[in-house]
Structure 1
Amino acid sequence: MQLNLPLADLPSDAGSLWEQLDPTTRDAVIDALAQAIAKLVTQSHPNQRENDDE
């Protein structure tokens, strides 16, 4: 499944939401996104190993 994100509708000015977040909150958002991506990838390819040294 592919999700469509309306990125064209996001504000492009210097006062964007991301710029308003403090560094701790930014780190938490990045961590949550990384975990969600990793979970999605591992669920999409459960039998694949990252390093196939065999």
Structure 2
Amino acid sequence: MLDRAVRIGMIGCGTQANVHFACLKALGADQATVAAVCDLDDERLAAACQLWPRLS
């Protein structure tokens, strides 16, 4: 167990990122959280921000 959650930055929010997002959600916020995301596609970026509300 970690003393604090690992913070992840995701470059690209396409299909593979969604697989990673699901795994990170399964770990739980006490172990891992997404701290930043970026994507050239505004729709994919908005979808990622909805999964991780702290990014908005």
Give the number of the structure whose alpha-carbon radius of gyration is greater: 1
Larger RCO (CA within 8 A; separation ≥ 6): 2
What is the TM-score of this pair, normalised by structure 1?
Answer: 0.33
What is the TM-score of this pair, normalised by structure 2?
Answer: 0.32
**Counting strand residues as a fraction of each chain, which structure ranks higher?**
2
